[in-house]
Structures are given as C-alpha cells and as structure tokens.
C-alpha cells in the first residue's frame, strides 16, 4: 500500500485499474482488507481506490478518543483531491455509507454517484436510533471491561456469533486491532441527517440492503429510498457484510455516464 498525508493524517491507500474513479469506504473497525475480494471485479470498471480510514491501519491521532463522520468525510475529500480522482463514484459500507453521504452533501463536486451498502443513517428511524444506541453501549462497555474484545463485540452484535467464529484469524485480528477506532467512532456518534437533506442529493444512487440484516438497516434504507430522488434499491441475500462487487453494483457502475 502507498500512503499520503492529507487533512492532518497519514492515510494508507491502494489503486487498482484505470478509468473513472471509484472510492471504497470501509465500515467501522474494518480496513481495505475487507474489499480485497471485490477489487478485481470493480477494477474492470474504473480506477479503484481503497484506503484505511484514520485510526485504522492508517495513522491514529494521539489522543484518539473521539472522531466524527465529518472528519472522515474531510479525509476522503482530501484524498480524492490529492490523487486527482474527482468526481468519483463512492461505495460506502455501513459507517462508510454515512461518510459517503456526508461527502456528497458537503463536497458535491467530488462525487458523481453513490453506492450505499446499508449506510448506517440511524437518525431516520426511531427504532433504528434505539438499536444503534444499544450497539454503542455494548461497544463502550466492552472498551471498559476489556478493550481487546471491542471488535468481536461489534461483529457479534451486527453479524452474529457464527460470522465472527467463521472469520479467518487475520480478519479477527484486524477487528481486534481496530477496536480503539470503533470506540472513537461510537463516541463521536452517527451522522445526523434528515430526509430534507437527503432530498438534495440528485446524483445516481444505489441502495443495497441485505435480507437477513438487523431490521434497523432495512428501515433506514427504506427511508433513504423515499427521500433520495434519483435512487433505487436492491435486496441481496445474506447479512450486513454485503459484497461490494454484487452484480447489481457492477451493473449500476457500468450504467453511469462517462
């Protein structure tokens, strides 16, 4: 991986392929590793940029006890600018979907399309807010009891025990190592955005939801679909860890002009 110093932090990133830029934004406690299987398919369609967000394998500022979606969106915008990769199609997974939406709202000239893999916009549903608060409390309690269990606690709450147990050791270690980043993000809180703000995003948007994810994600996906005027929704089998190279995603990217 290469690295760039942008927005006051050193970010690790990779580039694959050529053509229209595609930025991949990972979820909480993840890293670019989680995109490895999808990159070859995505790279057939453009210049794919995968990176580790601040606090993950990238630089962890000191102190790093709190961070916000806006801070991560500022990082992403600075990375795109430094690499001359605008406007980009932005694929955001979970917390990364929040970053993608904030990027589109505050840096609209840098984003030409969105693919949101169950973006965690919990402010759109009262039940989702309650579910997210339960997750946040679990993460913070794990950080107090045993910081090495934060990643495992996060994954088991969202994806289930079987998914955690089925991860290979390097993936489990990645989530464990990134526990402090998850705590900082949980402390900073989710993106606060309403339907009126989402209605101002007119770029092509694909919303992907999983049939067996926690209900909170379906609720917010449905709310986004109702609010965003140029969006469409696709449902996949399985749980929250949606394949970024699902055929629906590849088809959507192929349809984009230019």
Distance (Å, whole) CA 14 – CA 104:
22
Assigned token pair, 136: 């946040």
Give the DSSP per-residue string, 46-60: SEEEEEPPTTTTS--
Gap between the Cα atoms of 132 and 111, Å rounded: 27
How far apart CA 181 and CA 173 sit, in angstroms, is: 14
Label residue 144 exposed, middle or buried (CB < 10 Å: 0-12, 13-18, 19+): exposed
Query: How confident is residue 141, by pLDDT bands cut at 50, 70 and 90?
Result: very high
Domains of the chain in sequence order: 2-124+190-255 (3.40.50.1820)
- Tens-digit pLDDT profile for residues 143-157: 999 999 999 999 999
pLDDT at 1 over 80: no
Q: Are strands 111-117 and 88-93 parallel, antiparallel or unpaired?
A: parallel
Helix pair 169-177, 179-188: axis angle to 10 deg = 50
Rounded to whole angstroms, the Cα distance separating 145 from 85 reads: 42
pLDDT single digits (tens) 184-238: 999 999 999 999 999 999 999 999 999 999 999 999 999 999 999 999 999 999 9
| Mean pLDDT to the nearest integer, 69-78 | 97
- What is the pTM (predicted TM-score) of this model? 0.97
| pLDDT score of 196 | 97
Task: Give pLDDT, residue 199.
Answer: 98
Structure tokens at 216: 């909170």
Angle CA 114–132–39, to nearest 5: 35
pLDDT of residue 161: 96
**How many beta carbons lie within 10 A of that of residue 173, not counting itself?**
12
Q: What is the mean pLDDT of residues 161-188?
A: 96
**Rounded Cα gap, residues 32 and 39, in angstroms:** 10
Q: Can you tell me whether residue 89 is helix, strand or coil?
A: strand
The pLDDT of residue 119 is above 80: yes
**Coil, strand or helix: which one is 83?**
coil
137 Cβ contact list (under 8 Å, min separation 6): none
55: alpha, beta or left? (left if phi > 0; alpha if psi -120 to 50): left
Residue 258 has pLDDT above 80, yes or no: no
How far is it, in rounded angstroms, from Cα 27 to Cα 34? 9
Q: Are 203 and 230 in contact (CB under 8 A)?
A: yes
Q: Take residue 5 and report the two structure tokens written for it.
A: 């110093």
């Amino acid at each position: 991986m290469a690295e760039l110093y942008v927005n006051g932090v050193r970010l690790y990133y990779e580039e694959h392929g050529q053509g229209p830029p595609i930025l991949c934004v990972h979820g909480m406690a993840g890293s670019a590793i989680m995109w490895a299987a999808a990159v070859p398919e995505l790279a057939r369609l453009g210049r794919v940029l995968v990176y580790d967000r601040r606090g993950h394998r990238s630089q962890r500022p000191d102190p790093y006890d709190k961070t916000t979606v806006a801070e991560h969106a500022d990082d992403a915008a600075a990375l795109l600018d430094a690499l001359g990769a605008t406007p980009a199609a932005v694929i955001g997974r979970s917390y990364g979907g929040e970053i993608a939406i904030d990027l589109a709202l505050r840096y609209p000239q840098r984003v030409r399309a969105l693919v949101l893999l169950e973006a965690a916009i919990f402010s759109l549903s009262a039940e989702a807010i309650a579910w997210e608060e339960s997750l946040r409390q679990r993460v913070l309690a794990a950080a107090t009891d045993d910081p090495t269990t934060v990643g495992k606690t996060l994954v088991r709450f969202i994806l289930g025990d079987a998914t955690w147990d089925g991860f290979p050791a390097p993936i489990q270690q990645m989530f464990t190592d990134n526990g402090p980043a998850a705590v900082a993000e949980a402390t900073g809180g989710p993106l606060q955005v309403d339907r009126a703000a989402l209605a101002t995003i007119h770029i092509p948007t694909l919303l992907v939801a999983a049939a067996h994810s926690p209900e909170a994600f379906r609720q917010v996906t449905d709310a986004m679909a109702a609010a965003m005027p140029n969006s469409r929704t696709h449902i996949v089998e399985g749980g929250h860890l949606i394949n970024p190279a699902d055929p629906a995603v590849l088809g959507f990217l192929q349809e984009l002009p230019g």
